[in-house]
Amino acid sequence: MNVVIKTDNLSKYYGRAQEIKALDNLNLEVYEGETFGLLGPNGAGKTTMVRLLNCIIRPTKGTATINGYDILKDSNNVKKMIGLLAETPGMYEKLSAYEFLEFVGALYDVPDNILRDRIGNLLGLFSLYDRKDYLLEGYSSGMKQKLLLAAALIHDPPILFLDEPTSTLDPRAAHMVKDLIKDLSERAGKTIVICSHILPIVEEVCDRIGIINQGKLIAIGKIEDIVSQTKTTNLEEAFISLTGGVEEKELLSWRELRSATS
Amino acid sequence: MQHPKWFVIARNEYRVNINNIRAIRRPFPYITVAFLVVYVLYLAPMFVNLFIDDVLTFIISKAAIPMVQLMLFSIFFTMTVFPITNTLRELGTKQLEIFLAAPVKPSDVLLGEFLGKMPFYIIALVVVTGTFTALLGSLGLNFVQNAMIIAAFIMVFLTAFWIGTVISAILRTRIGKSTRAKDFGKGISAVIMLPVVAIIYAMIGGGLTEALIDPSTSGAVRAALDFLPSSWAAEIFVAFASNSANASAIFLENLVRFGGLSFLFVAVLWLGTKLANRAYSLESTTFTAPIAKPDGLFYKTLRGLRGGGSSGTLLATVFKDYSRRFENLSFIIYAVSLVVLIVVFLEGPNEGAGLNIVRQLNIMPIPMISGFVVGTISRGKRTLFLYKRAPNGIIRFVKARLLQSWLMAVPIIAIIATVMTIIFTGATLVPLLSNVLLASFRTIAMVVFLFSLALLIPFFGEESRERTGGIMVYLMTAIFTSIGFELGFSSTGWTFEKTFPNIDPYIGMLSDRLLETSIFLLIGILLLYLGIKKLNKIE
């Protein structure tokens, strides 16, 4: 299988003495046509990794290649290969959905004649066509998420990075996105990297997963392998076991003060 | 056809900027061009003809160079600061991710953002240069000289706006990622225009122009002013205009100035594109999160003012939320500075004798300070709903915010009243006490009035631009209501002294002011009652 994403000791440190290791010596390979899930607790380094691989920030040390292009030397070609749905993406609230997709398409050099049809098709796919001329400030968070997915697909890239793709979607739209991810991978041969906390989605669509904690990749493989290695029964238990377990607490201890205040 | 990336970004920026006139977006450029053609060919010459004699007299006077220098410097500073202020108000780096993830060069982003805003600046430029063309036409200058003057003006504007665009792009990414830095940026945006306001006030009433003409008083300031690029354009204009009969004699001199301006423009443009890579980055600059300190004496005192308990906690909380936003504090600094500038340059000791100081305070300083205070505290739809869902929440909300406004506005006015009384009338105890007490009472009434308006016509916008607009509405309402009330009360002709001839004149005047403010307070209380009713109904 072709390796399309390869990281080589990819690291990003912050702080004066570089004491904050957002990502530490990441070595990872993702294969062509694969759907790869990246799991990790909040602040584990997932978004840092996505930003590094999309050439949005530069690594402190190490490097990575995307489809053979080095992120340090060939950033423009890397960017052309990738469609990104960011964790906290910015939108132009004063543009309509059509205008926003037209703008993003032009940034990625999609030819005008292809762009017009593609915008229509993508808006239709995400059930936004009837609202194509509405300003984005009037869109719900779910509609914005759909539009951002459409924006990530607008240049039909071979590799997709989707950071929490279904977090704000209703069940029906989330189901559609899951089916879309499967189709993109199986029928269109796209390589997809998904960062998500929603474990059922990861379980359903990902061929392999990686678990990242405190900037380090602590597990990688097929879900069933990781579950068996951790001697747990499902992905949730495996994830909790790998990332530090659950702190035992008396969950109703706060009520003891009630008698003092009432 | 593939468009260059800077064009795509410029078009997007233009679309975002004309969002408010979407309905006429297509005909807008044609309407604008038609208007500008009419202005340049017909309106500007007509306008210039109205006062051409005065202008010609001015141009050959000694005041011409410093006056035009100051005007152009003010425009230069404003054009530089304008994009910076806009950026600082709404610091956000989210949209940068779109650019940084796409195959786009940072210099394209910078140029695109610059050019996207340019159409609106070009309108202003055409109006200014159109007026100058009309003016120059009557001076008998030839085409090259006219072109040189207009090109110099355009270069000054573009240089200033480009510098502002580059600085704002750098600021956006440097300080846009930390909440504290963002807040600091918003704060700076409020006070950044103060130097220009100070220059304008000093020109109008401070004798700045006269001082610059006088060589004995203007040495260092003149030298500094001559060094500024905006002054080179001013000198080109004044030199040609005042030597129109013999313009060729100073042509070489002006050519050197023009060359300097052109070099500066190209150098600034080049440097800006070189800095673009630094201007667009999402690298985190800080990982420190702001930490709240334990309550000190100030907050403990505030809690005590409301007798401790939940009311004290509410008052301390609204103060904490307010004072931890640097933007609010800088609005107050801005308001106080404006009041000082107005008192120093536009008003004077002659107008402020005895109780007249209170009238002086009633017209500008009190409405301004109260307007800024009420304008800055009236924010936050979400926090309002926190109160609404609590038992007796609205009354608690009103009490806490009203008390907060008084605690802020009254001490500021008391200090201003003290300083003005001491400086203008000498430090005698009775006028000092009566001025301070009357001014404080009027501030209490003004705050009630404005706060009631804030409840009746709330501005809930959390965006800085909307908030600044809201503050300006409160400010204007406060000033015009105050002036109207003063005029209305005076026009009745009724005074204590006329009604009770035996009364001491000073006590009579004091009583007039007290009665006037009491009526104002009663109106405020009535509106407050209506405001609370309205607030209870808001959903």
Examine residue B369 and state whether it is found in any structural domain, yes or no. yes
Chain A residues in contact with B1 (beta carbon < 8 A): 112
Inspect the interface and report whether the beta carbons of A107 and B5 lie closer than 8 Å: yes
The verdict on B275 and B400 lying in the same domain is no
Interface-testing mutation among A103, A113, A137, A161, with chain B (most B C-beta atoms within 10 A)? A103
- B154/B70 same-domain check: yes
Q: Are residues B336 and B229 in the same domain?
A: no
Record: contact A103-B8, CB cut-off 8 A: yes
Q: Which residues neighbour B269 within 8 Å (Cβ) at sequence distance 6 or greater? A: B162
State whether B269 and B350 are in the same domain: no
Query: CA-CA distance, B345 to B340, in Å (whole number)?
Result: 8
Report if residue B12 sits inside a domain. no
State residue A209 phi and psi, 5-degree precision. Answer: -135, 160
Token output for B46? 């007509």
Residue B1 falls within a domain, yes or no? no
Q: Quick check: is B7 in a domain?
A: no
Nearest CA in chain A to B93: A90
Residue B350 sits in the same domain as residue B241: no
The domain that holds A125 is classified in CATH as: 3.40.50.300
User: pTM of the prediction?
Assistant: 0.72
Cβ B2–A91 below 8 Å, yes or no?
no
**Which of these, A128, A152, A153, A155, lies nearest to A139 by C-alpha position?**
A128
Q: Is residue B153 part of a domain?
A: yes
Q: Which residues of chain A have pLDDT under 70?
A: 245-248, 256-262
- Give yes or no for B313 touching A (CB within 8 A): no
Interface check for B10 against chain A (CB to CB < 8 A): the answer is: no
CA distances from A249 to A171, A246, A252 (A): 32, 9, 9
Q: How far apart (Å, rounded) are the C-alpha atoms in residues A228 and A241? A: 12
Angle at B90 between CA B87 and CA B92, to 5 degrees: 90
CA atoms within 13 A on the CB side of A183: 6
Q: How many residues does chain B have?
A: 539
- Residue-by-residue pLDDT tens, chain B, 539 positions: 678 888 999 998 888 888 878 788 888 889 999 999 999 888 988 888 887 777 777 776 767 777 777 888 888 888 888 888 877 776 666 677 888 888 888 888 888 888 888 888 888 888 888 887 787 777 777 778 888 888 888 888 889 888 888 888 887 777 766 666 677 777 777 777 788 788 777 777 767 777 766 666 666 667 777 777 888 888 888 888 777 667 677 788 888 888 988 999 899 888 888 887 777 766 665 555 667 778 888 888 888 877 777 778 888 888 888 887 777 888 888 888 888 888 877 766 555 455 577 778 888 889 999 998 988 887 666 667 667 777 777 888 888 889 989 999 999 999 998 988 888 777 678 878 888 999 999 999 999 999 998 888 877 666 666 777 778 888 888 889 888 888 888 888 888 888 888 888 878 888 888 898 999 999 999 999 999 988 877 76
Q: Which domain holds residue A99?
A: 3-261
Identify the DSSP state of B26.
Answer: T
Supply the pLDDT for residue B53. Answer: 78
Question: Looking at the 3D structure of chain B, how many domains does it have?
Answer: 2
Q: Is B95 on the interface with A (CB under 8 A)?
A: yes
Whether residue B145 is found in the same domain as residue B218: yes
Indicate whether B377 and B437 sit together in one domain: yes
CB B486 within 8 A of CB B469: no
Check if B5 contacts A (Cβ < 8 Å). Answer: yes
Cβ atoms of B139 and B244 within 8 Å: the answer is: yes
Closest CA to B402 of B330, B452, B336, B461: B452
Q: How many domains does chain A have?
A: 1
CB contact under 8 A, B103 and A77: yes
Q: Which of B225, B251, B279 is the last residue of a domain?
A: B279
Answer whether A103 sits within 8 Å of B12, measured CB to CB: yes
Question: B356 and B266: one domain?
Answer: no
- Mapped onto helix, strand or coil, the DSSP state of residue A11 is strand
Assess whether B403 and B509 both reside in one domain.
yes
Distance in angstroms (rounded) separating the CA atoms of residues B371 and B471: 7
Residues B148, B273 within the same domain: yes
Residue B51 phi, psi dihedral angles, 5° rounding: -135, 30
Domain membership of residue B513 as a residue range = 325-537
Q: Which ipTM value was assigned to this complex?
A: 0.72
Q: Is the dihedral of CA B305, B306, B312, B317 positive or negative?
A: negative
B102: left (phi over 0), alpha (psi -120 to 50) or beta: beta
Scanning chain A, the segments in alpha helix (DSSP H) are 46-53, 75-81, 97-107, 112-125, 141-153, 171-186, 199-205, 223-229, 235-243, 258-261
B94, B102, B284: residue with CB nearest A108: B102
Query: Is B478 found in the same domain as B397?
Result: yes
Check whether residue B83 and residue B150 sit in a common domain: yes
pLDDT recorded at residue A262: 45
